[in-house]
Amino acid sequence: MGRKTKGVMDALLHTRVLRRWTRAARQAATEELQVLRVQRQQARDLSARLTELMFHADGRLAMPQIGSNAFARPAGTLWSWRPLLWRGPLPQKGMTAVSSKTALGDEVTLFHDCAVSELTLRQLRNTREEDLSPFGLRLDVFRFDGSFLSLALDLPPEAVQGMTRRQILRVSIVVEVEKPLEIFARLNINHGPNTEQMVQELPRKRGEAIVEFDLAYTELNEKRIEKAWLDLIFEGPEMNQITLRDVTVCRYPRAEL
C-alpha cells in the first residue's frame, strides 16, 4: 500500500472514529446504562493512549528541542556547558519535602539545613518564545527555618582541562522569582590540597543574569587543578517561588592588557 493511499485511509478512519465518539457523547445523557458502561471503559482506554501520545508529541514538537545545547557564547570560547537537568527530562519530575543532599540527576544537588523541609522541586518544560533551554527547574519554598539553601552544580572534567589563570569563567542564569531575592554564584576550584573560591551576586533583574569569574585574581596552581563546581546560593528564600529557566557556563581567554 502506497504512502498516499495509507494517508487517505487513515484520514477516513479518523473521521469515522471521531463521528462515533461525537455521537456517543451527545447521547450519553439518555443512553442505556449497560451500553454506557461499555462506552465509559472504551473511552478510558482510548483516553489513556491519547494522553500518552500527547505527552510524547508535546515533548518532541515543542521548542526548544530536547537535548538542545544552543546558547550565546563569547568569541573564542574554549569550553561551554548546559547541565543535563536543563537539557533533558529527569526520571523523577517532582519532589516534595525535599531533604538536604538530594540529587537532581548526576550533576545537581540541593543543600539546606532546615529542621523541617517545606521545599518542593519540579522540572518543567520550557515553551516560551524566548527560552533556549528545553527544561527549567522550579523551587517552591514555604516556611524556611534553616540558615542556607543552595544548589551545587558539579562541572564536568572538561571544565578544568586546559584551565589557566589567563581565562574567564562565565555563568549565565535565566531566573524568575515571585519576590525580590538575593542569589549568589560561588565558583569552587579544587587544586591539590587547596580550594579556590570566588563569589559574585547575580544582578537583580528579570531574564538573563551574567557573572564572570576572572581567574587571574586567584592563586590557582594550574598544574594541580582537579575539579570545579558551582554553588547557587539563595538568601532568605522563605515563601518564594524560584524558577531557573536556564543555567549555562563557558570558559574563554581573558583580554590581555
Question: Can you give the pLDDT at residue 61?
Answer: 62
Contact 186, 198 (CB under 8 A): yes
Question: Can you give the pLDDT at residue 67?
Answer: 60
What cell numbers appear for 214 in the block?
Answer: 576572572
Percent of the chain beyond pLDDT 90? 47
Question: Can you give the pLDDT at residue 63?
Answer: 60
Confidence label for 182 from pLDDT (cuts 50, 70 and 90): very high
Cell numbers 554553588: residue = 231
Question: Can you give the pLDDT at residue 169?
Answer: 96
For the cut 80, the answer to whether the pLDDT of residue 205 exceeds it is: no
Cell numbers 524568575: residue = 176
For the cut 60, the answer to whether the pLDDT of residue 145 exceeds it is: yes
For the cut 90, the answer to whether the pLDDT of residue 106 exceeds it is: no
Does the pTM surpass 0.75? The reply is: no
The residue-averaged pLDDT of 195-215 equals: 90
Question: Can you give the pLDDT at residue 65?
Answer: 62
Tell me what the pLDDT averaged over the chain comes to: 87
Exposed/middle/buried for residue 193 (C-beta within 10 Å: 0-12, 13-18, 19+) = exposed
Instruction: Give the domain ranges of the chain.
Output: 3-61, 79-253
Task: Give the number of residues written for the chain.
Answer: 257
Q: pLDDT digit string (tens) for 56-78?
A: 666 666 566 666 667 778 888 99
AA identity, residue 15: T
Q: CB count, 10 Å around CB of 179?
A: 10
Cell numbers 529542621: residue = 115
Contact 246, 124 (CB under 8 A): no
CATH topology of domain 79-253: Jelly Rolls (2.60.120)
The residue-averaged pLDDT of 75-82 equals: 92
Question: Can you give the pLDDT at residue 257?
Answer: 57
